[in-house]
Structure 1
Amino acid sequence: MTAITLIDGSGALRAVPLAEAPAFSKPRHPLTSRVAYAAAHVVPKPFADNTPGEPAEIDWDATLAFRHHVWSWGLGVADAMDTAQRNMGLDALATRELITRSAAEAASVGADLVVGVNTDHVGDESISLEQVIDAYKEQLHHAEDAGAGVVLMASRHLARAAQTADDYRRVYREVLGAAAGPVVLHWLGTAFDPALAGYFGSDDTDAAAATLLQVIEYNRDKVSGVKMSLLDADAEIAVRERLPESARMFTGDDFHYVGLIEGDERGHSDALLGAFAALAPNASAAIQALDRGDTAAYRDILGPTEALSQQVFAAPTYYYKTGVAFLSWLNGHQAAFQMVGGLHAARSLPHLSRIVELANASGALERPELAAARWHSLLTLNGVDVAIAAPAGDAAATADHETTDAAAPATGNESDTDIEVLA
């Protein structure tokens, strides 16, 4: 019997059967029924000074290889977004280099890439609306010069400087007017960044949505869509139904994406999700099912992942990046569970254990034996004796769950060489 050990908040251990990896296949043709981006994280050098306040030292080979992993499943990559630790460890110089390098990699394989444009290179000081406009334009031109598509992110500087909804309309009009082509707007809620309270001129969601819709309406030729990250499905649907035909709704709701992407007779959302960075094979397989018109298979594949995503994005939600990097490590996409700014320490062992449990149950472990070995090594490092876990059940109940590396179905993520368990 192959089992994986879990730990709860009291320190109690239990073992559960290790599930086999789903037999997902990479798409042979572009995905058509939905547009889907995975907001990707960054991988630091494991020997770097990955402590709070230090400049980010990125392992570019691992970081860019992860983007190729996402592209290989037919998804687009949304880079230099909050998932890449903007304002939480990724400094301005590293952000610029990330955009340049990712754009070059995307061009080399003809892949879909959009990148975040913000004002965060200015620092934390308060600046005027004119300076906000100039800061946005500086990053906008860098992204466009690199050849990347643009997501115009919510700006902390704008949230501080704006006094009225008119200030938001003015800033977005000026910045969008400088864009070479259509961009995606981003409405990031306070669960992700408390500094963005009152964005679009109001704490009232309906009033703020009205301003957002006016910005889109007044700049139709420069707005291709909007990513909403309020974790409020009803608010997203209400905005989605009022969008002009020229603009897509990209859900950023990592709690309710299954129903929002499936949609109904009134429409659906496309996807730009941090969760999809951790779930690229599952997301791809689910959208492939929609491409075939098989909504039941879509729900069967993606439905179980929503509980996992809700755990990764549990409050305080802005620490979700830890769960994304943790799953990347478990699945063999990086050699060490390290993050810039020391953010790998932002979640507890029981929280990570629940991620392991839900990933195992939802088919999100791409190489289950590797994931189990790495997780057990982390428990051991923290003084947990995995050998004393309660049994997973009798042999008859668990035999069907046994798997080995030789017998596990191919997921399209196998490496030609084994990845070491301990970095």
Structure 2
Amino acid sequence: MTSLILPDADGGTRRYTVRPATSWARPSAPLTSRRAYAAAHVIPEASADNTPGAPAQLNWDATLAYRHELWSYGLGVADAMDTAQRGMGLDWAATQQLIKRSGAEAASVVAAGNAATAGKSVRDLVACGAGTDQLDLDALPGGAAGIHAVLDAYREQIAIVSEAGPKVILMASRALARVARGPEDYLHVYSTLLREVEQPVILHWLGTMFDPALAGYWGSDDVTQATDTFLGLIREHADKVDGVKVSLLDAAHEVALRAQLPAGVRLYTGDDFNYPELIDGDGTHHSDALLGIFAAIYPAASVALQKYDAGHAAEARAILDSTRELGKHIFSAPTFYYKTGIAFLSWLNGKQPGFQMVGGLHSGRSVVHLARTFELADQAGLLRDPALAAFRMSDFLRINGVGA
């Protein structure tokens, strides 16, 4: 058994013994009972200038291999979103390449006809964010001119995603949050775009715990009023809405919203705290998933969904519950640094050559926080090669002065 010294929050250390590896079976057929997208991160070149404000330089081989890994477990990939560090290091130039490359890779998987993805389309395998982050917020005009600029920015990005083949996710827009004067401006922008798109899209509602710049989204700081505006938009354009991704970390709100959606409109939970019960459902409705935590727990998540497909709901729920503490820890406040934990596990599991992130975000969590991430991942059976993970964890602690 492999053991190592881990730091405690009180400044002490203790010896920890890692568990044997857990075997998580890949599906032998496409997953059907729930639709699930894992929101994948991006992997930079380890030798690039990965500092705040520097242009993103990605390790394309590792970044795309990570997406193939998710597809091999039967999961879709949600790409080019805030989860991929848009607005936190991933610039629009790199984002365009990511959208195009992910679409091409998904098309290759469709053509190959693998067991876990048989019969799936590119839109099933990958959904990409279309936003407005090519705009300079400081130069954004106010009033009608600002709204027009937001619309044109969305249109440019929608065209790029649509041409590449993925499903469009209409991301929440910092620019729209800045220029909108009330609910009517949100309804004008989104209604215009929904009338223009050729295929149904996913609407994206991101809470301020993920991005403080989105305060007052849908025209109100009151969640009830914002929800009324959101629901009105969906009901008017239900034929153009595949589903909604809601990331407010409020399970009661999600359950109530889910029950009010028009028939055929999915609720893709973005609640990385309460996903087990939301995916499990209440006997009448369940949530599908578009989750950042799935990029960390994808082997367990896949097996849980396989259990749902086989009619073993209790076993499925137990597997999801076994990952909850890891999810709560990775997404603990400040929540917008959760990507650091996702990338750290990717490195521990050998999916990237170094613990690096674009924009210097690898410094977003403390050594003690990441040590606890390692421990919780081990307890959930999510260290693919425990000896390798322990070796890398020990090296990380050593170079950070733990036990020196």
Q: TM-score range by the shorter chain?
A: over 0.9
Indicate the SS of the match to 1:10.
coil
Offset at residue 252 of structure 1 (A): 0.2
* Mapped contact 2:273–2:324 kept (Cα < 8 A): yes
Number of residue equivalences:
386
* Mapped contact 1:137–1:178 kept (Cα < 8 A): no
TM-score w.r.t. length of structure 1? 0.90
Superposition pairs of residues 375-394 of structure 1, within 5 angstroms: 375-385=393-403
2:116 maps to which residue? none
Quote the Cα distance in structure 2 between the aligned partners of 1:145 and 1:87. Answer: 23
Q: Does 1:105 align with 2:105?
A: yes
Superposition pairs of residues 393-404 of structure 1, within 5 angstroms: none
Quote the Cα distance in structure 1 between the aligned partners of 2:192 and 2:314. Answer: 45
Offset at residue 8 of structure 1 (A): 1.7
1:302 maps to which residue? 320
Per-residue CA deviation, residues 371-398 of structure 1 (Å, 9 max, x unaligned), is: 1110001011112238xxxxxxxxxxxx
Bigger shift: residues 377-386 or 220-229:
377-386
2:39 maps to which residue? 39
2:188 maps to which residue? 170
* Mapped contact 1:41–1:83 kept (Cα < 8 A): yes
Per-residue CA deviation, residues 109-163 of structure 1 (Å, 9 max, x unaligned), is: 1151000010001122334111111110110011001111111000001111111
Q: Mark the runs of 5 or more structure 2 residues left unpaired by the alignment.
A: 111-121
Offset at residue 5 of structure 1 (A): 2.7
Superposition pairs of residues 273-352 of structure 1, within 5 angstroms: 273-352=291-370
Quote the Cα distance in structure 2 between the aligned partners of 1:250 and 1:5. Answer: 39
Q: Does 1:86 align with 2:99?
A: no
Quote the Cα distance in structure 2 between the aligned partners of 1:177 and 1:299. Answer: 39
* Mapped contact 2:19–2:378 kept (Cα < 8 A): yes
Q: Does 1:189 align with 2:207?
A: yes
Quote the Cα distance in structure 1 between the aligned partners of 2:342 and 2:187. Answer: 34
Quote the Cα distance in structure 2 between the aligned partners of 1:207 and 1:64. Answer: 40
Q: Does 1:129 align with 2:147?
A: yes
1:26 maps to which residue? 26
Q: Between the two proteins, what is the percent identity of the paired residues?
A: 55
Offset at residue 266 of structure 1 (A): 2.1
Bigger shift: residues 302-311 or 336-345:
302-311
Offset at residue 208 of structure 1 (A): 0.6
Quote the Cα distance in structure 1 between the aligned partners of 2:166 and 2:37. Answer: 14
Per-residue CA deviation, residues 183-230 of structure 1 (Å, 9 max, x unaligned), is: 000100000000000100111111111111111111111111000000
Offset at residue 164 of structure 1 (A): 1.2
Offset at residue 250 of structure 1 (A): 0.2
Quote the Cα distance in structure 1 between the aligned partners of 2:224 and 2:102. Answer: 36
1:48 maps to which residue? 48
2:273 maps to which residue? 255
1:393 maps to which residue? none
Quote the Cα distance in structure 2 between the aligned partners of 1:331 and 1:167. Answer: 45
Quote the Cα distance in structure 1 between the aligned partners of 2:159 and 2:327. Answer: 34
Q: Mark the runs of 5 or more structure 1 residues left unpaired by the alignment.
A: 387-423
Indicate the SS of the match to 2:29.
coil
Indicate the SS of the match to 2:260.
coil
2:129 maps to which residue? 116
Quote the Cα distance in structure 2 between the aligned partners of 1:213 and 1:364. Answer: 37
Quote the Cα distance in structure 1 between the aligned partners of 2:134 and 2:310. Answer: 44
Quote the Cα distance in structure 2 between the aligned partners of 1:268 and 1:300. Answer: 16
Superposition pairs of residues 113-262 of structure 1, within 5 angstroms: 113-125=126-138, 126-127=140-141, 128-262=146-280
Quote the Cα distance in structure 1 between the aligned partners of 2:371 and 2:226. Answer: 38
Quote the Cα distance in structure 2 between the aligned partners of 1:246 and 1:285. Answer: 25
1:270 is aligned, of 283, 288, 307, to 288
For the aligned residues, what is the CA RMSD? 1.0
